[in-house]
């Protein structure tokens, strides 16, 4: 499972395991998984609920630490944790902050990364135009449909121009039309930015649109298939 020699390795996992708890109550969410994520790679992460998909995404993002094994971010200059904008995440459920309007939600990670307020606003508005929501910048999250909220979440990723995009069941609560729309936007964002994309999904119609497949079962990565570069 090595990357192509001329492709930048962004994340490398070697035999990582994540166990929660100890003793008889211990639960192993990820078990000895090895994978390499390279620039521009587009991966469908599949498997049933409880197979470890979300935990693996959190480990890739540096939001969690493996119990054993090693994870490195050679193409990201170290762990992305505490460095807003290096990794962009899209979640299944609501992720927008209710008190902030749409533009402010998209601006927030840019401001946390130290981007000037005016520049952050310009980048947020450009990202909202890219996802077809420029006219909704002043709305609050409660005024959005589920599909619109997920498109705002994608805009938030676009605005930060990350090297890695991680999407955890981003279409799980959407109808088929909106699911197709959000998937297309994520693939477009990955291609435009040259960013790696890992999209966790139960939907094989969505998974089939990504050239690489990582399949998980009971915490283990059981297959790694597809064209890597």
Domains by residue range for the chain, with CATH: 9-226 (3.40.50.300)
Q: Could you say which residues of the chain have pLDDT below 70?
A: 1-6, 224-229
- Comparing CA positions, the residue from 103, 90, 109 lying closest to residue 201 is 90
The angle formed by the CA atoms of residues 184, 186 and 192, to the nearest 5 degrees, is 100
Handedness of CA 84, 88, 93, 99 (dihedral sign): positive
The whole-angstrom separation of Cα 174 and Cα 181 is 10
What are the C-alpha distances in Å from 113 to residues 59, 109, 131? 21, 6, 22
- Comparing CA positions, the residue from 208, 204, 193, 195 lying closest to residue 37 is 195
- CB-based contact 29:219 (threshold 8 Å): yes
Q: How confident is the model over 113-144, as pLDDT tens digits? A: 899 999 999 999 999 998 889 999 999 999 99
The whole-angstrom separation of Cα 167 and Cα 135 is 25
- Comparing CA positions, the residue from 45, 61, 51 lying closest to residue 27 is 51
Q: How confident is the model over 38-59, as pLDDT tens digits? A: 999 999 999 988 899 999 999 9
**pTM greater than 0.75:** yes
């Amino acid at each position: 499972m090595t990357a192509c020699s001329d492709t930048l390795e962004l994340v490398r996992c070697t035999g990582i395991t994540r166990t929660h708890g100890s003793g008889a109550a211990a639960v192993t969410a990820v078990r000895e998984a090895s994978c390499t994520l390279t620039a521009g790679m587009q991966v469908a992460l599949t498997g049933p609920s409880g197979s470890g998909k979300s935990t693996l995404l959190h480990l890739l993002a540096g939001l969690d630490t493996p119990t054993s094994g090693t994870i490195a971010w050679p193409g990201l200059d170290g762990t992305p944790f505490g460095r807003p904008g290096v990794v962009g995440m899209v979640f299944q459920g609501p992720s927008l902050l209710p008190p902030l309007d749409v533009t402010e939600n998209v601006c927030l990670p840019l401001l946390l990364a130290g981007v000037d307020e005016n520049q952050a606003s310009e980048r947020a508005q450009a990202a909202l135009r890219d996802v077809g929501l420029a006219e909704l910048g002043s709305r609050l999250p409660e005024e959005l449909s589920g599909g619109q909220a997920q498109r705002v979440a994608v805009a938030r990723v676009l605005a930060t121009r990350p090297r890695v995009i991680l999407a955890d069941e981003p279409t799980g609560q959407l109808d088929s039309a909106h699911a197709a729309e959000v998937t297309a936007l994520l693939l477009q964002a990955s291609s435009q930015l040259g960013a790696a994309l890992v999209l966790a999904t139960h939907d094989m119609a969505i998974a089939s649109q990504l050239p690489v497949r990582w399949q998980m079962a009971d915490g283990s990565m059981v297959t790694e298939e597809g064209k890597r570069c």
